[in-house]
């Protein structure tokens, strides 16, 4: 990271939190704004576990997007409490907040996040998947319901997957960012290293390929990461909570683990721009999701 000392006239740079209930499309929104897959996605709640910075730089603005875990109360353990605390901390530190919802009736999970929104910062209501509503008039009752509950700085309907209205969202966000120099170099996309990104891609495949079968408490630990010329050699342990969960990850004849590894390796090669040798195995760490020391060792 290189901080510049002088700012071009009118250049803006600031932090933007992306918050919302689980599975509302926060990570998908970030990926489509960046034009690349940085944040992992799945239908499983709280797939995002880490505070992930996505950097998007244009001619006159540097957006520092902070993707956050979906705030929820379903799993009450040390892991969930840590993730919820991350959301609260991010909201206190950023310049602008994007509150992402889906075009449906206000739910209990939305209300939880709504109560956390800061009153002293600009908050934009982002209605994702707006294309599913057809006529824009269908969105009006929903927008009116939310507008009565909070004083939003703006309301923007978008479709992250279809890149609908993303430019309008960026312009609305830019208006609330401070005038200052860029903090990161123009070609930087995140503050996370390749070791972290590799672990996240393996975890994504576990969640995507096993769906509801996979236990909530699954983590990935990169035990070795080395680069030899144009080859990255990565050794990853998939961590589960109980011995009985191990066969779920491995699958019959090792087929499921092989599929996880193959798909993760393919995504890594696209992201890193090089060949990847990936070796994975399953490790049991009983009670890790409720162990503060175990969470700390995994960067949580």
In the chain, what are the domain boundaries? 12-174, 194-297
How many other CB atoms are found less than 10 A from the CB of residue 43? Answer: 11
Superfamily per CATH, domain 194-297 = K homology (KH) domain (3.30.300.20)
CATH node for 12-174: 3.40.50.300
Q: Are 126 and 29 in contact (CB under 8 A)?
A: yes
131 is in an annotated binding site: yes
27 is in an annotated binding site: yes
Could you give the CA distance from residue 222 to residue 200 in angstroms, rounded to a whole number?
10
Q: pLDDT, tens digit, for every residue of 194-249? A: 998 999 999 889 988 886 666 567 889 999 999 998 999 999 999 988 888 899 89
218 is in an annotated binding site: no
Residue 42 CB partners (closer than 8 Å, separation 6+): 204, 207, 208
20 is in an annotated binding site: yes
Q: pLDDT, tens digit, for every residue of 154-177? A: 999 999 999 999 999 999 999 999
70 is in an annotated binding site: yes
287 is in an annotated binding site: no
Q: What is the mean pLDDT of each run of 10 residues along the chain (300 residues)?
A: 56 92 85 85 61 90 82 50 60 89 81 87 92 72 80 92 94 96 92 91 88 72 93 95 88 95 96 95 76 50
DSSP 87-147: HHHHHHH-SEEEEEE-SS---HHHHHHHHHS-TTS-EEEEETTGGGG-SGGGGHHHHHHHH
25 is in an annotated binding site: yes
88 is in an annotated binding site: no
Residue 122 CB partners (closer than 8 Å, separation 6+): 95, 96, 97, 153, 154, 176
Closest alpha carbon to 57 in 192, 182, 193: 182
21 is in an annotated binding site: yes
26 is in an annotated binding site: yes
Mean pLDDT of the chain: 82
> Model-level pTM?
0.80
24 is in an annotated binding site: yes
């Amino acid at each position: 990271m290189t901080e510049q000392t002088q700012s071009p006239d009118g250049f803006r740079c600031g932090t933007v939190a992306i918050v919302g209930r689980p599975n509302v499309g926060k990570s998908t929104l970030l990926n489509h704004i960046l034009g690349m897959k940085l944040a992992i996605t799945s239908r499983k709640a709280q797939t995002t576990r880490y505070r992930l910075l996505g950097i998007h730089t244009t001619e006159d603005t540097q957006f520092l997007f902070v993707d956050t875990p979906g705030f929820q109360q379903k799993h009450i353990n040390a892991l969930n409490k840590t993730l919820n605390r991350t959301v609260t901390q991010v909201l206190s530190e950023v310049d602008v907040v994007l509150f992402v919802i889906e075009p449906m009736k206000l739910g209990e999970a939305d209300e939880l996040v709504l109560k956390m929104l800061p009153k002293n910062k600009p908050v934009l209501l982002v209605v994702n998947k707006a294309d599913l509503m057809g006529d824009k008039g269908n969105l009006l009752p929903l927008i009116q319901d939310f507008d009565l509950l909070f004083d939003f700085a703006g309301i923007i309907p978008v479709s992250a997957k279809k890149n609908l209205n993303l430019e309008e969202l960026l312009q609305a966000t830019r208006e609330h960012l401070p005038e200052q120099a860029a903090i990161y170099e123009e070609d930087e996309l995140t503050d996370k290293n390749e070791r972290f990104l590799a672990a996240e891609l393996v975890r994504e495949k576990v969640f995507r390929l096993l769906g509801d079968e996979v236990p909530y408490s699954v983590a990935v630990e990169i035990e070795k990461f080395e680069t030899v010329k144009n080859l990255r050699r990565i050794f990853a342990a998939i961590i589960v909570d109980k011995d009985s969960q191990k066969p779920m990850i491995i699958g019959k004849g090792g087929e499921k683990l092989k599929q996880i590894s193959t798909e993760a390796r393919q995504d890594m090669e696209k992201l890193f721009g090089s060949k990847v040798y990936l070796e994975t195995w399953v490790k049991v760490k009983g009670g890790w999701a409720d162990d503060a020391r175990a969470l700390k060792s995994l960067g949580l």
